[in-house]
Amino acid sequence: MSDLDDIRDILGFEPYRGAPIDWEAASQALGARIPSDFRELINATGAGKIGYDTLLLQPFAINTNYDQIRRHHEWIRDLEIIWEEEKDFDPEDQTKPLIFNEPDIRPILWGASGLGFNLYWVARNDTDPSTWQIAVEPARGGQWEFHPGTATNLLLRLLRGEAASLYLRSLCTAEQHFFTPDM
């Protein structure tokens, strides 16, 4: 069974019946290829919410709360402003993870939460997107978390309680094991 099949078994979501997603246009809008596991996940679920709070974003979603492209550009703009303002701070007071100072590496948003965290790929130019790690940003301060593996693999490990995360730990509880599609 694939990670997507296991996620489907845990969350019990119905197949997505919305309009097909233009993944090529989405990749162009984000400036990078979108990992295939995420394309498969969103093709299966559409935009929606895991449990009470974790949002899966979809490129060009009609509901702007779930529009990956719009939210990505907003958050990246906000991060750039914050990181620019922090340049003169002592290094221990800066919130920008050092990895994003490396050339050709940047965050690309794919999930979010009202609890104050965002899920990103750590995108590396000219590398296979399936090799990107996942970053979790605590939007209200705190240390970023970094996780190996794909988006679907991380979600599955979180749902099973197999991945340690300060910000996403509630996903392992059975009461969070449902999916609400964005309608």
Q: How far apart are CA 118 and CA 5, in angstroms?
A: 24
Q: What is the pTM of this model?
A: 0.94
Dig out the tokens for 63 from the structure: 């509901």
Residue type, 145: E
Q: Which residues contact 155 (CB under 8 A, 6 or more apart)?
A: 3, 7, 41, 50, 171
Burial environment of residue 159 by CB neighbours within 10 A (0 to 12, 13 to 18, 19 or more)? buried
Q: How far apart are CA 121 and CA 46, in angstroms?
A: 19
Q: In this model, does residue 183 exceed pLDDT 80?
A: no
User: What are the b/e assignments for 163-178, b being 16+ CB within 10 Å?
Assistant: bebebbebbbeeebbe
- For the segment 116-165, what is each residue's pLDDT rounded down to a tens digit? 899 999 999 999 999 999 999 997 777 899 999 999 999 999 999 999 99
